[in-house]
Chains A and B, each alone.
Chain A
Amino acid sequence: DTGVSQDPRHKITKRGQNVTFRCDPISEHNRLYWYRQTLGQGPEFLTYFQNEAQLEKSRLLSDRFSAERPKGSFSTLEIQRTEQGDSAMYLCASSSIGTGSLRADTQYFGPGTRLTVL
């Protein structure tokens, strides 16, 4: 399977602990996105990378959150000092800059990491 993969699929942690999630995009994709989905809601944008550069961060991404994409390949999302409100599904997506317009871009999503903070 050459789709977007995420690890782990599930994470249960205690409040105050740090957690890190990994996303492996489709290999030729240079754009990578993180979204967060809480129960009963649609996903919300968190951050965007083009290659290794983090170009956009949502106001939802507090100082406790940090994302990296070293060498423009996989990405990690770290949450420090987790809070119960951080419990959600964290989704990663990737896309490529095609030869067409921006509108030709299609984001492909991974299965997500479900975080539960006790």
Chain B
Amino acid sequence: AQSVTQLDSHVSVSEGTPVLLRCNYSSSYSPSLFWYVQHPNKGLQLLLKYTSAATLVKGINGFEAEFKKSETSFHLTKPSAHMSDAAEYFCVVSDEDTGFQKLVFGTGTRLLVSP
């Protein structure tokens, strides 16, 4: 079965400093991986997705993630945090054994951004 582990439940950064949210995956085949963001009282929004093309994936709002097969990692980064980045971030792997995309979510990382 496919799964993801988000290594930090909370990450605190100052505005303007880099962001690193860590995610490791477990998959029996080359996975499809995603990062979603959830702002309070808003729906989940797709930040970026990896589907076996380029290993460095660029997403919205300046975020990017690098797929590293040797480390089974898919960490999310951003060079400079903005106050509006404060939210819950989910690393997600797709379980496609059933012929459709069953998304398997991590437990989430809450990003706190201080002025």
Which residues of A approach B to under 8 Å, CB–CB? Answer: 3-4, 31, 33, 35, 40-45, 48, 50, 55-56, 91, 93, 95, 101-112
CB distance from B32 to the nearest CB of A (A): 5
Q: Is the CB of A42 within 8 A of B90?
A: yes
The contact sample of 19 A-B pairs, CB cut-off 8 A, is: A3-B43, A35-B103, A40-B107, A42-B106, A43-B90, A45-B104, A56-B98, A56-B102, A93-B103, A95-B101, A101-B51, A102-B96, A102-B100, A104-B51, A107-B101, A108-B46, A109-B43, A109-B44, A111-B41
Give the complex CA separation of A13 and B96 in angstroms. Answer: 36
Give the size of the chain B interface in residues (CB under 8 angstroms).
Answer: 26
Interface string of B79-115 (1 = CB under 8 A from A): 0000000000010101010111111111110000000
CB distance from A60 to the nearest CB of B (A): 12
Known contacts A42-B90, A103-B32, A111-B42; A31 and B107 CB within 8 A of each other: no
Q: Is the CB of A4 within 8 A of B43?
A: yes
Which listed residue (A3, A33, A43, A104) contacts B105, Cβ 8 A?
A: A43
Which residues of B approach A to under 8 Å, CB–CB? Answer: 32, 36, 41-46, 49, 51-52, 90, 92, 94, 96, 98-108
Q: Is the CB of B52 within 8 A of A103?
A: yes
Which listed residue (A3, A4, A31, A42) contacts B100, Cβ 8 A?
A: A31
